[in-house]
Structure 1
Amino acid sequence: MIEVRGLRKNYGAKVAVDDLSFTVRSGQVTGFLGPNGAGKTTTMRMILGLDTPSAGIATVRGKRYVDLPRPMRTLGALIDAKAVHPSRTAYNHLLCLAQSNGLPKRRVAEVLGIVGLDEVAGKRAGKFSLGMSQRLGIAGTLLGDPEVLMFDEPVNGLDPEGIRWIRQLMRRLAGEGRTVLVSSHLMSEMALTADHLIVIGRGKLVADSSLRDFVEESSERTVLVRTPFVDEFARLLLANGADVRTDQAGVLIVSGMDSIEVGKLAAADGVVLAELTPQRTSLEEAFMELTRDSVEYNVDEGVA
């Protein structure tokens, strides 16, 4: 379990993380989301002891990372996949990590096999593609067989097969009862992977909830209606208290009524419906709506 309590980080006058508190629990994949500049990586670095908090504390299984007796056996982390000596082979990079952390040599070959790099174990890391570097970084997180894992943008540079692989890996690790925290900009991937979401904006906590609750609470519920009698049915819906808008294809988007209420109203008035579909907002749409005021740089504002 990871616990963050009252965490704050100042860089001069800039507040990168502002009184942030949350808990990452075991047995589930927790997505760590936020716009660029929200403070996600800074928070992860403070959890790892790479940055010192201006206030507050972050603990892993009840202890600060720097106080863990065998840190790689407790927490495996991927923050920067390219933070590898370019002249070292993949095998020697992992061997160095293993030896410096009191881990058995055999574990190097095991994790290379897990991430699919066993055939390039003797290749220098500086020659790796971004996707291969990500796999090597993930191998490093698994080296100590830790109970807690933390990934910052783990799917960067991976092809669709690689993305599917890391998704299955994280689900499997969580299924084994481990704590998994993953930051990603790919909302579609988080929708398939995460059980729980922690969302921050401008260094502050915006949401801490299950994926389902986040989408439902952050979105407007609407019903899509297709009918040959667009104008007539729109007036009828408005007269019965619904909000109605029409898209470019002449489809009615109804809010303020659920699909059953819309269907009953159409049946009572003899209106033929070609389609009646409840609309489910995507994670990306819910995220954009909730974090709209937390975006540091908004392209719609133009350039001065």
Structure 2
Amino acid sequence: MIDVTNLSKRYGDKVAVEELTFQVRPGIVTGFLGPNGAGKSTTMRMILGLDAPSAGTVTVNGRRYVEHLAPLREIGALLEARAVHTGRSARNHLLAMAATSGIPRRRVDEVIDLVGLREVAGKRAGGFSLGMGQRLGIAAAMLGDPKVVMLDEPVNGLDPEGILWIRHLLKALAAEGRTVFVSSHLMSEMALTADHLIVIGRGRLIADVPVAAFVAQAAHDTVRVRSPQAAELRDLLVGPEVTVSGGEPGLLEVSGLTLQQIGDRAAAAGLTLHELSAQQTSLEEAFMTLTRDAVEYTAAPTAGDVPAGRNVR
């Protein structure tokens, strides 16, 4: 388990993390989300003792990272996949880590097989692709067979097969009762992988909730209806708490009524429906909505976004 209590980090006048408090529990995959500059990497570095907190505490399995006699057996982490000696082979990189941590040599071959690098284990890590480097970083994180696994953007550079592999790996580790803490900007993957979310913005906690609850906070669910009698159907559905919009002929977007209610009204009026489907808020939409005020950098509007009558200089 990871316990973060009133954790803060300042660099001069800049506040990177401010009074964060949360727990990462075993047995589930916990996603760590936030816009660029939110303080995720700083928080992860403080968990590993790489940065000293300005205030607050963080413990891994009840102790600060530096207090563990065998830290690699407590927490395995991937923060920067390229943090390897480029002249060493993948196997020698892992052997060096094992030798300095009292880990048996046989474990090196186990993690090489785990991440699928057996065929290239003898090649220099400096020649690895980004995806191969990620796999090597994950092998290093798993070297001590740790109780806690913390990965920062583990799917970077992975192909679709690799993304599916890491998804299954994270779920399997959680199913074994380990604590799994993973940061990612790939919302579609987090929606499929994470059970719980820790979301921060500008160094502050925004949400500490199950994935479904996070999405529900920003829900604006609508029903998509396609009908050759869309105009008649619109008149039938519009009401004080019901909004109906249409982006193209024959298509309506309805909010304020359930799919069943719309279907029943259309059937009672004898109207034909070609499509009737619920359009639910995605994790990506919820993230964009709930972190809108915490974005550090906002792109200028593109030419197509500029309001009429305004000049771009």
| TM-score category of the 2 structures, normalised to the smaller one | over 0.9
Counterparts of 1:300 and 1:84, CA distance in 2: 37
Counterparts of 1:28 and 1:239, CA distance in 2: 43
Task: Give the aligned CA root-mean-square deviation in angstroms.
Answer: 1.6
Match of 2:86 in 1: 86
- Equivalent positions of 1:178-257 (< 5 A) are 178-239=178-239, 241-257=241-257
Q: Secondary structure at the match of 1:6?
A: strand
- Conserved? CA contact 1:8–1:17, under 8 Å: yes
Structure 2: which amino acid aligns with 1:192?
Answer: L
Distance 1:264 1:134, change over 3 A: same
Q: Secondary structure at the match of 2:86?
A: coil
Match of 2:157 in 1: 157
Structure 2: which amino acid aligns with 1:79?
Answer: L
Match of 2:138 in 1: 138
Give the structure-1-normalised TM-score. Answer: 0.95
Query: How many Å apart are 1:250 and its aligned residue?
Result: 4.1
Counterparts of 2:299 and 2:173, CA distance in 1: 38
Match of 2:109 in 1: 109
Q: Which runs of 5+ in 1 are unaligned?
A: none
- Conserved? CA contact 1:219–1:289, under 8 Å: no
Query: How many Å apart are 1:300 and its aligned residue?
Result: 4.3
Give the structure-2-normalised TM-score. Answer: 0.93
1:68-105: per-residue Cα shift (whole Å, max 9, x none)? 11100000000000000111111111111111111111
Structure 2: which amino acid aligns with 1:296?
Answer: E
Structure 1: which amino acid aligns with 2:201?
Answer: G
Counterparts of 1:146 and 1:132, CA distance in 2: 22
Match of 1:95 in 2: 95
Counterparts of 2:229 and 2:206, CA distance in 1: 42
Query: How many Å apart are 1:235 and its aligned residue?
Result: 2.9
- Equivalent positions of 1:67-86 (< 5 A) are 67-86=67-86
Match of 2:308 in 1: none
- Equivalent positions of 1:45-60 (< 5 A) are 45-60=45-60
Count residues with an aligned counterpart.
304
1:40-94: per-residue Cα shift (whole Å, max 9, x none)? 1111001000011111111111111111111000000000000001111111111
Structure 2: which amino acid aligns with 1:10?
Answer: R
Q: Which runs of 5+ in 2 are unaligned?
A: 303-311
1:166-194: per-residue Cα shift (whole Å, max 9, x none)? 11111111111101001011111111111
Structure 2: which amino acid aligns with 1:175?
Answer: A
- Conserved? CA contact 1:5–1:58, under 8 Å: yes
Counterparts of 1:27 and 1:152, CA distance in 2: 19
- Conserved? CA contact 1:17–1:204, under 8 Å: yes
- Conserved? CA contact 2:33–2:200, under 8 Å: yes
Query: How many Å apart are 1:111 and its aligned residue?
Result: 0.9
Distance 1:193 1:243, change over 3 A: same
Match of 1:32 in 2: 32
Q: Secondary structure at the match of 2:37?
A: coil
Moved more, 214-223 or 161-170: 214-223
Match of 2:23 in 1: 23
- Conserved? CA contact 2:76–2:140, under 8 Å: yes
- Conserved? CA contact 2:223–2:259, under 8 Å: yes
Identity %: 62
Structure 2: which amino acid aligns with 1:262?
Answer: I
Q: Secondary structure at the match of 2:238?
A: helix
Moved more, 153-162 or 112-121: 112-121
- Conserved? CA contact 1:150–1:180, under 8 Å: yes
- Equivalent positions of 1:219-298 (< 5 A) are 219-239=219-239, 241-298=241-298
Counterparts of 1:157 and 1:103, CA distance in 2: 29
Q: Secondary structure at the match of 1:80?
A: coil
Moved more, 31-40 or 263-272: 263-272
- Conserved? CA contact 1:78–1:152, under 8 Å: yes
Counterparts of 1:102 and 1:46, CA distance in 2: 24
Counterparts of 1:265 and 1:119, CA distance in 2: 62
Match of 2:14 in 1: 14
Q: Secondary structure at the match of 1:299?
A: coil
